[in-house]
Structure 1
Amino acid sequence: MSSASVYAPFDKHRGPHPGILAIVHVSLFAGSLLLLGILTAGKGFPNPFVPLVEAQQRLQTFTAVTRINALMQFGAAVPLGLFTAAVTSRLSFLGVNVTGVSIALFGGIGASLLMMLSSLCTWVLCQAGVIDNLSTMHAVQLLGFATGGVAHVVALGLLMAGIAVPSLFGGYTPKWVAWLGLVLAAIAELSTLSLIFAPLMILLPIARFGSYIWLIATGFTLTKNRS
């Protein structure tokens, strides 16, 4: 085999399948919530807005399952980052030389890293002595909630917008997938206002769980052929 044939450009993009990566990401994250909900009898992970003593009691009672939850969410962040690399690489392969691809790369990697940080905050709360001091516990709770909530969702919105815009104009995905990404991206960016107006936190689960449909749909419909 000649060196020319080895380095000849492919007609079809090669790399990990973004649809499978999206399914792994969604399965791990959804599984972490389901497992936590079942094993805590529906109580789940205490958010930083419940009474501190109640949060402390829950973390003391469900330390083991909370640690498993942190592990699964940390694991879920990895395929999200790989998905980002796969879809942005594919658009670049298709010749999409626009800023949106770089925005998507920034947003997707940021969303992955923020999810990792949030899960590590949960892991820290499971370590001996951390929750003995309520002020320290509350600070770690708030950091985990902020990074895994509004910061993660806003970054996820940049990923969706960066892929959806060129896909809409270039026809790289079905139009409904591109429009879904744009609508969810708008909701995700609006959720930034929840930092000063708490009722807008309702936008966070809408954007996050809606993004799972978009991730899987984009992963399986994004074209890979130059033609």
Structure 2
Amino acid sequence: MFAAGTFFPSPLGSTDAVGAYLVGHRDAVTATGFLVFAASVPLGIYAATTYARLLRLGVRVPGPTIAFFGGIAASVLLSISGLLTWALGQPVEGQSPALLHTLDYIVYALGGVGFVGGLGLLVAGIAVPTLVLGLAPRWLAWVGLVLAGLSELSFFALVAPPLAFLLPIGRFLGLAWLLSIGFLLPRSRHDVAGRDAK
């Protein structure tokens, strides 16, 4: 909306194209940075509450800690990415297109590869104990493990750019999975026992 229908350019594009977009659509870049930073906060809260819920359910394996670490890492990397994106949208005179392009690569590394890698650990840390202990439907746990694996493979996009297609898979499907499992995880051990008795 702010950019009149044009999309944020990939840092893999030319320096001229990236620089022209960042300079010509400052409002869109600033709004994007603000929204990305804002999105990082509930992700950190989600990681902390899910960690506490898994412990309350009696999960005493590394999964909850891995999930907590991955969720906090994803939240922090996303927040830094958002703040840097916001900075890219500020009206600084005489900005070098090369510097803007370099900063855009940093935003991509943090908010793309780094974020999805952390998100994959969050998903894996929940999916493994969910599968082993039967805390949610097994098929959903298996979907989570597949998404976690694809998210971790996205690291290779740093050295093999064509693998960047894994980033939106990990980002959007991973977030959808977290939303689903958040509703389906039992709230207490009593709920697990009651469900097993049925």
- 1:113-146 per-residue CA deviation (whole Å, 9 max, x = no partner) reads 1100111111111123277212221221111000
- 1:166-201 per-residue CA deviation (whole Å, 9 max, x = no partner) reads 001111122222111101000011111111111111
Residue of structure 1 aligned with 2:89, choices 99, 108, 126: 126
Give the share of equivalent positions with the same residue, in percent: 42
Residue of structure 1 aligned with 2:148, choices 177, 185, 202: 185
Contact 1:173 1:221 in 2 (8 A): yes
Cα distance in 1 for partners of 2:94, 2:74 equals: 27
SS at match of 1:98: coil
Runs of 4+ in 1 over 3 A off after TM superposition: none
Give the letter aligned to residue 34 of structure 2.
L
2:10 counterpart residue number: 47
Contact 1:105 1:159 in 2 (8 A): yes
- What TM-score results when the alignment is normalised by the length of structure 1? 0.80
2:92 is the alignment partner of 1:112: no
Q: What displacement does 1:49 show?
A: 1.9
Cα distance in 2 for partners of 1:69, 1:160 equals: 25
Contact 2:116 2:151 in 1 (8 A): yes
- 1:194-223 per-residue CA deviation (whole Å, 9 max, x = no partner) reads 111111111111111111220110110010
More divergent stretch after superposition (110-119 vs 50-59): 50-59
Cα distance in 2 for partners of 1:130, 1:124 equals: 13
The 3 A distance-change label for structure 1 pair 144 and 130 is: farther
SS at match of 1:132: coil
The 3 A distance-change label for structure 1 pair 187 and 130 is: farther
2:195 counterpart residue number: none
Q: What displacement does 1:110 show?
A: 0.2
Q: How does 1:60-209 map to 2 (within 5 A)?
A: 60-129=23-92, 132-209=95-172
Figure out how many residues of one structure are paired with residues of the other and give that number.
Answer: 190
Cα distance in 1 for partners of 2:33, 2:66 equals: 28
Cα distance in 2 for partners of 1:199, 1:64 equals: 30
Q: What displacement does 1:47 show?
A: 2.2
The 3 A distance-change label for structure 1 pair 141 and 58 is: same
Cα distance in 2 for partners of 1:54, 1:182 equals: 37
Residue of structure 1 aligned with 2:176, choices 195, 213, 220: 213
Root-mean-square deviation (CA, aligned residues, Å) is 1.4
The 3 A distance-change label for structure 1 pair 131 and 46 is: farther
Give the letter aligned to residue 135 of structure 2.
Y
- 1:75-133 per-residue CA deviation (whole Å, 9 max, x = no partner) reads 10100010001111000011111111111110000000110011111111112327721
More divergent stretch after superposition (176-185 vs 126-135): 126-135
SS at match of 1:39: coil
